[in-house]
């Protein structure tokens, strides 16, 4: 049965307006974005199917445009809505990180990184540049490809840090394999980079590895 045929007090949009978004399930909230379903599925059923495909809201909102476009039922209009919501989420998180000390918002940092590394098929090395109060100044993807000492250039990181007048940095890179644990090379590279940063009085606060829905923090394991 189409949602438009339901009693008004059971329709997602009407319930949201009457009782607030907290009262709705994840598929119901997705249904409001979709507005309509497809043949044989109403918007809630389609929302439930999309959520099941990705496994979680985090993975849904970290999905690339290409992956979203492959889903049946997401035409150009619905795809545009999802892309808009995802981009607004990224910008909102970025604003939050700029507003206060990053280390007080560790879950927010990790969520931001998941969005940044969404569905990347190659390794990317990203640097968060922070001011003296550890507020976010900028986030830059600096290196791509297989990350080794020959591909991650400390001099370039230092140059960008000085350009931003950064007092501290957080490194992050993804493991496309999905395993969020450091290799021996990751550990030695981090130690080398830390020494280089210290030579210019720039503090390395953390190096975070992002895998499939998980993160691994050098700082949390006492390695920064």
Domain ranges of the chain: 3-91, 102-217
Regarding beta strands 215-217 and 136-144, do their DSSP bridges make them parallel or antiparallel, or are they unpaired?
A: unpaired
Q: Against a cut of 0.85, is the pTM above it?
A: no
Mean pLDDT of 185-189: 92
Contact 211, 182 (CB under 8 A): no
Contact 27, 43 (CB under 8 A): no
How large is the average pLDDT for residues 106-118?
Answer: 81
pLDDT at 25: 92
Q: What is the pLDDT of residues 22-60, one digit of tens each?
A: 888 999 998 888 888 888 888 899 889 988 988 877 778
Q: Which CATH superfamily is domain 102-217 in?
A: Cytidine Deaminase, domain 2 (3.40.140.10)
Rounded to the nearest 5°, which phi and psi values hold at 187? -70, -45
Distance CA(162)–CA(137), nearest Å, equals 12
Q: Number of helices (H) and strands (E), helices first, in the chain?
A: 9, 5
pLDDT at 148 over 70: no
Evaluate if residue 150 carries a pLDDT over 50: no
Q: What is the CATH number of domain 3-91?
A: 1.10.150
Is the distance from CB of 211 to CB of 174 less than 8 angstroms?
A: yes
Asked if the domains at 3-91 and 102-217 fall in one CATH topology, the answer is: no
């Amino acid at each position: 049965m189409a949602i438009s045929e339901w009693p008004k007090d059971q329709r997602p949009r009407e319930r949201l307006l009457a009782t607030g978004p907290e009262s709705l399930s994840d598929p119901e909230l997705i249904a409001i974005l979709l507005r309509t379903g497809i043949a044989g599925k109403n918007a809630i059923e389609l929302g439930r199917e999309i959520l099941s495909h990705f496994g979680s809201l985090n993975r849904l909102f970290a999905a690339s445009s290409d992956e979203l476009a492959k889903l049946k039922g997401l035409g150009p209009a619905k795809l545009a809505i999802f892309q808009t919501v995802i981009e607004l989420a990224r910008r909102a998180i970025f604003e939050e990180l700029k507003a206060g000390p990053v280390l007080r918002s560790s879950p927010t940092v990790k969520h931001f990184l998941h969005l940044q590394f969404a569905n990347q098929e190659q390794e990317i090395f990203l640097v968060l540049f922070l001011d003296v109060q550890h507020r976010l100044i900028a986030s830059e993807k600096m290196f791509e490809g297989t990350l080794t000492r020959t591909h991650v250039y400390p001099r370039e990181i230092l140059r960008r840090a000085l350009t931003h007048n950064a007092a501290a940095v957080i490194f992050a890179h993804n493991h496309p394999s999905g395993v969020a644990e450091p290799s021996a090379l990751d550990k030695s590279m981090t130690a080398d980079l830390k020494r280089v940063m210290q030579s210019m009085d720039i503090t390395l606060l953390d190096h975070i590895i992002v895998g499939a829905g998980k993160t691994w923090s050098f700082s949390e394991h006492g390695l920064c």
